[in-house]
Structure 1
């Protein structure tokens, strides 16, 4: 019998994604005036594909064993936008877009925090016997 579902680990992954996105947006905002700085972005699709395609070497005792999946060395899902230049100095950070993305990410983060808090409150209620 499985006591806990994968919901908590899924919510943990969502928090990690949101945290990485916040760091990237902060880097973009802080480098808005840096010449030739290219904005970065975090894509869930890229992170997901990277996780699916990454394998690490492991000692298999049988040919029928599956390859181990692992975390890539670079941060998954971070891409650099090289195809645009908004400023005369080669910088492509759009401050309005970054601030909008920051607000959207904050709302997403708060929603995930509310959900994981609800999960822990439910577990606490079960442990206490419904009291």
Structure 2
């Protein structure tokens, strides 16, 4: 039963994890907008998400492989060693749109737009996963 619940929620769970990883990078870029020689970084959401989803599917199919954690009993929950995915979503340096004299490549307009867009998509995933949980609770309660 747990594997069916995992499968039903894994898509949005993975999307939330990758969006969170991207949000942290974007926040770091904004925080370092005035740091000399700071290079803006981001991840390619599409490729990172597809890699993370494949990793999530393989972990669900074989729960004994949980990113370095050992499951000693079938009653134990599976987990991953961290919220980021090894090898997936390595931060890339963002191309320079307009360079600064101090070598900083953060474009605040681009960063704010990307941050807000990512936030909205994160909230949309939360709304969808909440809807799935409500449907499951309705089915369980028989209403």
2:103 aligned with 1:102, yes or no? Answer: no
Name the structure 2 match of 1:11: 12
In the aligned structure 2, how far is the partner of 1:50 from the partner of 1:128?
36
Q: Which runs of 5+ in 1 are unaligned?
A: 55-67
Q: Which has the larger radius of gyration?
A: 1
Q: How does 1:25-104 map to 2 (within 5 A)?
A: 25-47=26-48, 71-72=85-86, 76-81=89-94, 83-84=95-96, 86-104=99-117
1:33-55 Cα deviation digits (max 9, x unpaired):
11110000111244257669x9x
Q: How does 1:111-126 map to 2 (within 5 A)?
A: 111-126=124-139
Q: How many residues align?
A: 114
Q: Flag the structure with higher strand content.
A: 1
SS of the residue corresponding to residue 42 of structure 2 reads strand
Question: In terms of mean alpha carbon deviation, does 8-17 or 84-93 score higher?
Answer: 84-93
Question: In terms of mean alpha carbon deviation, does 37-46 or 13-22 score higher?
Answer: 37-46
Q: Flag the structure with higher helix content.
A: 2
TM norm structure 2: 0.68
Q: Which has the higher contact order (CA 8 A, sep 6+)?
A: 2
Instruction: After TM superposition, give the deviation of residue 7 of structure 1 in Å.
Output: 3.4
1:21-79 Cα deviation digits (max 9, x unpaired):
11000000000011110000111244257669x9xxxxxxxxxxxxx89652x662421
Q: Which runs of 5+ in 2 are unaligned?
A: 56-64, 68-84
In the aligned structure 2, how far is the partner of 1:90 from the partner of 1:24?
19
TM norm structure 1: 0.73
